[in-house]
Amino acid sequence: MLIIDEQTAGHLLDAQEAFHAVEETFAAMARGQARNFPVVREALGHADALYGFKSGFDSAGATLGLKAGGYWPHNAEHGLTNHQSSVFLFDPDTGRPTAMVSGNHLTAMRTAAACAVSIRHLARTDADTLGIVGAGHQAVYQLRAAAAQRRFERVVAWNRTPGRLTELAAAAEALGLAFETPPLHRLGHEADVIVTITSCHEPLLMAEHVGPGTHLACMGTDTAGKQEIDPLILQQAQVFTDEAAQAVGLGECQHAVDAGQLDVERIQALGDVVTGQCAGRTAAGDITVFDGTGVGLQDLSVARRVAARALEAGRGQHIHF
Ligand code: NAD
């Protein structure tokens, strides 16, 4: 069994590889070759933590495993990020463990990659302004991955506490992109692509804030009760997701479906767009929404690539188990 620590995992996965891993995973799900198993997520009643498992099996990529971890809101006091996770991979032929890979950097990379896959397949090709709503740990990863998908010239960003936008500004500058911080309603109108990546529990972006032709990648809502956008946007938009069951249960779609504003039948899999089974954006003036809820197979696919790179490069620690 190979053990790969956080720093090594960070060195062995780049954004392009994460993109291909996630795009292939969505395609395998669409072809019925890969499936996610039911998610376990529980409040521990200790340290205010949320803890759980995401797992799945991809027969096309021979990938079986799980990600264990969750959210510890007081971790800054220990000098740690709030999200902590580890990925375990198993040999699908024998059930023997093959690798344990630290999953913190991987989670950020696979989440940003899912957002990027949605932009690649759904955003207008002439999109030139990228909007980022949120400036937490995930935001810079999102910005970098999104920026690679179109010839963006400008980033418009908003955060509840504007002081936290400095890291995003530096990341935009490093990519040669102009950076502005308009109020949220103006951001909605100015951006052609908007990535939302907050822990909000009520709509931030309202329907009247979003212009025709916009692509929204809603990445923050991954738990029942969270919400980032007005359900009216979903009522009016073409809606895509990583996995419909998760979108309805714990993604951005949960509220619009509950309110009767979004028929479950209208939620399409991004994987179907990747494989060509679904056309994707049908008109330049349409609003498209990707509800990126985060599936276990994304974690497994990037972890598998890291484990393969580690074997090639002689990195990681081997143990008899
Ligand atoms: P973080 O704690 O570092 O940052 C949280 C962000 O949310 C900050 O920008 C904060 O200002 C904003 N925020 C919180 N409450 C708000 C409110 N009421 N109004 C406006 N803004 C508010 O978190 P992070 O690691 O950057 O993750 C952001 C979100 O993305 C989290 O909710 C996390 O669970 C989610 N996430 C989703 C996936 C996925 O696959 N979909 C993966 C990882 C994280």
Ligand 1 shell residues, CB under 6 Å:
82-83, 107, 111, 134-139, 159-161, 197-200, 204, 219-220, 222, 292-294
**Ligand 1 pocket: which of 111, 132, 199 to mutate (most atoms within 8 A of CB):** 199
> Which residue has a Cα nearest atom 30 of ligand 1?
220
Average pLDDT over residues 136-163: 97
> What is the rounded CA–CA span in Å between residue 236 and residue 104?
35
**Which residues touch 204 (CB under 8 Å, ≥6 apart)?**
133, 184, 196, 198, 228, 229
d(CA 290, CA 267): 10
pLDDT at 46: 97
Question: CA–CA separation, 194 vs 321, rounded Å?
Answer: 46
The per-residue pLDDT for range 205-219, each reduced to its tens digit, is 999 999 999 999 999
pLDDT at residue number 114? 98
> Quick one: which atom of ligand 1 is closest to the CA of 135?
9
**pLDDT surpasses 90 at 321:** no
In this prediction, residue 97 has a pLDDT band, given cuts at 50, 70 and 90, of very high
Q: What is the pLDDT of residues 9-48, one digit of tens each?
A: 999 999 999 999 999 999 999 999 999 999 998 999 999 9
Predicted confidence at residue 27, as pLDDT, reads 98
Q: Which helix (H) or strand (E) holds 126?
A: none
Based on C-alpha coordinates, what's the Rg of the chain? 19
- Whole-number Å distance, alpha carbon 135 to ligand 1 midpoint, is 8
Q: Is the pLDDT of residue 93 over 90?
A: yes
Q: Does ipTM top 0.85?
A: yes
Check the CA dihedral 46-47-50-53 and report its sign. negative
C-alpha to C-alpha distance for 217 and 194, rounded to whole angstroms: 6
**123-142 burial string, b = 16+ CB within 10 Å, else e?**
bbeebebbbbbbbbebbbbb
Residue 72, burial from CB neighbour count under 10 angstroms (0-12, 13-18, 19+): buried
Mark 197-227 as b/e (b = at least 16 C-beta within 10 Å). bbbbeebbbebebbeebbbbbbbbbbbeebb
- DSSP assigned state of 168: H
Residues tagged active-site: 67
Calculate the alpha carbon distances from 189 to 100, 119, 166, 289 in Å. 44, 18, 22, 15
Cβ atoms within 10 Å of 57's Cβ, excluding its own: 19
The percent of residues above 70 in pLDDT, for the chain, comes to: 100
Average predicted confidence (pLDDT) for the chain: 97
Distance between Cα 110 and ligand 1 center (Å): 15
What separation in Å is there between the alpha carbon of 256 and the centre of ligand 1?
20
Mean pLDDT of 224-251: 97
Amino acid at 22: V
pLDDT at 228: 98
Taking only the tens place, the pLDDT of each residue in 262-283 is 999 999 999 999 999 999 999 9
pLDDT in tens, 174-198: 999 999 999 999 999 999 999 999 9
Provide the whole-model pTM: 0.97
Among 295, 252, 282, CA closest to 117: 295
Q: What is the mean pLDDT of residues 130-134?
A: 98
Tens digit of each residue's pLDDT (9 = 90 or more) over 242-257: 999 999 999 999 999 9
DSSP state, residue 150 = T
Burial tier of 286 (Cβ tally within 10 Å: 0-12, 13-18, 19+):
middle
